[in-house]
Chain A
């Protein structure tokens, strides 16, 4: 068992990192997240001693106010953010999660870029059936977002951190979302 002062030091180190360290923005879309893209972002964050900012982008249907609660997407966001935090802990990378709404995925991405401090963006491109941003969104990002941008093209056999989008929201106990971390 570690002595208490070791824990205190670890926490202090992590806090310091969260305040001053470089920040890597990792926007992603429900319902699935590429594990390899996440790992790439985490490897970069570890190498840079950076904080990972996983930003869940939530498109809001036009018939709803932009700032209204989104219980269904919240379920996916909570499950994904927790899975990301656990994976990041394995890499020793501090996480500062975000959740951004927009009328479309690109609108949410634009708001995330406007609101967040970051030094680098890592995004997964949708390719070969793997989840991620459409080519036009990636092109838009390259044209409009300041800072360094890393586009990851996941493999065809990418393991997915997957959320079951078809599962209806129930009034009863919340069912844990299946997370494919093997």
Chain B
């Protein structure tokens, strides 16, 4: 989200699929703003022949589209210059992920929207969740349908407001059957292919999760370190979160690693657990010093692994691993900690409290799992 006060306010209407009512709601809110005395125009509208949507646009000024000729075809596009010249207070722009025809100022519509916002004009826009770059692969796997038009997650994450248009899968199918989304000849095909209950349920889950993660990111904008939820002490040592700031909604895993080859196994095992739980995974190395050459090499490998897995690699400096892990776990809302098998205790280490014992004491209510070294299983005396 931009801190520039001269920049326009961007509100995104996010949906799980076509037909949930994003454009309708955008127009409805635009009309309300108009009625409140603001200068509102439609910068671009794609009603898809839906009568309800077209009716909702009535009375709103429309900035005429420009026509772009590409390979002997005339394509209607949003007229960015005309919007900037008209300079309304609020501009409604449909289909944020749209790819512009060649020859237009920007390749993508979200870039046009960025320019409009830079001009100090507020924007309402719409997009479906499957257009977000980071989700397109996952959603293609879930639904069997890949969208070609994507936009960086940062566009939605950076919006001033995101409103999720949520509707049950059955209600959406009912709207489809009633001819409110597609013309009659496309209804049966849509019901049998993309708009199946399974697809819509998965898309709904992804949408809800996306918005929930956005809320968490706003609450804790610096990647969470030092920005955790307030914690109130309670009699008996039990920690409770401030009820005014609800924190972890689901599970969140924290894997403690060191920059060694063996740590990759802990990350992999933690990721599998995170997948089963539908949880986020944080990977933490508590470094006593700057990494040496060998550790740096291992960190590069760990970073790549975490990046592919979608896990968050954190490096914190400190001498007390358990204390740092406790702080990070509190800040991230961790519910589950994974560690590798502790090295055999010898010499002075025998006098220290083992790490698992310390973690259990410092993190009451957090599950602790010690990841076994399966490569040594054959050595076990069984």
Contact A98 B304 (CB under 8 A): yes
Quick check: is B335 within 8 A (CB to CB) of the other chain?
A: no
Q: Which of A10, A61, A78, A101 contacts B137 (CB 8 A)?
A: A61
Q: Which residue of B lies closest to A176 (CB)?
A: B272
Quick check: is A131 within 8 A (CB to CB) of the other chain?
A: no
Q: Which of B260, B272, B310 contacts A69 (CB 8 A)?
A: B310
Docked CA distance A127–B344 (Å)? 46
Contact residues, A58-108 vs B (CB, 8 A): 58, 61, 63-65, 67-75, 77-78, 81-82, 85-86, 88-90, 94-101
Contact B378 A95 (CB under 8 A): no
Q: Which residue of B lies closest to A169 (CB)?
A: B141
In the complex, which residues of chain B have a beta carbon less than 8 angstroms from the beta carbon of A70? 137, 308
In the complex, which residues of chain A have a beta carbon less than 8 angstroms from the beta carbon of B307? 67, 69
Quick check: is A110 within 8 A (CB to CB) of the other chain?
A: no
> Taking A78-B271, A82-B265, A168-B142 as contacts, is the C-beta distance between A173 and B378 under 8 angstroms?
no
Quick check: is B346 within 8 A (CB to CB) of the other chain?
A: yes
Quick check: is B6 within 8 A (CB to CB) of the other chain?
A: no
Docked CA distance A168–B79 (Å)? 42
In the complex, which residues of chain B have a beta carbon less than 8 angstroms from the beta carbon of A65? 133
Number of interface residues of A (CB under 8 A): 50
Q: Which residue of A lies closest to B275 (CB)?
A: A174
Chain B interface size, under 10 / 10 to 19 / 20 to 34 / 35 or more: 35 or more
Quick check: is B305 within 8 A (CB to CB) of the other chain?
A: yes
CB-based closest 6 A-B pairs? A69-B310, A89-B375, A96-B261, A1-B381, A169-B141, A8-B344
Sample (29) of A-B pairs whose CB atoms are under 8 Å apart: A5-B346, A15-B260, A18-B260, A63-B136, A63-B150, A68-B134, A69-B310, A70-B137, A70-B308, A74-B309, A75-B275, A81-B264, A88-B375, A94-B261, A95-B261, A96-B301, A97-B264, A97-B305, A98-B304, A99-B301, A99-B308, A100-B304, A117-B297, A169-B138, A169-B142, A171-B202, A171-B205, A171-B278, A174-B276
Q: B residues near A, CB below 8 A? A: 133-134, 136-138, 141-142, 146, 148, 150, 202, 205, 260-261, 264-265, 268, 271-272, 275-276, 278, 294, 297, 300-301, 304-305, 307-310, 343-344, 346, 374-379, 381
Q: A residues near B, CB below 8 A? A: 1-2, 4-5, 7-8, 10-11, 15, 18-19, 51, 58, 61, 63-65, 67-75, 77-78, 81-82, 85-86, 88-90, 94-101, 115, 117, 168-169, 171, 173-174
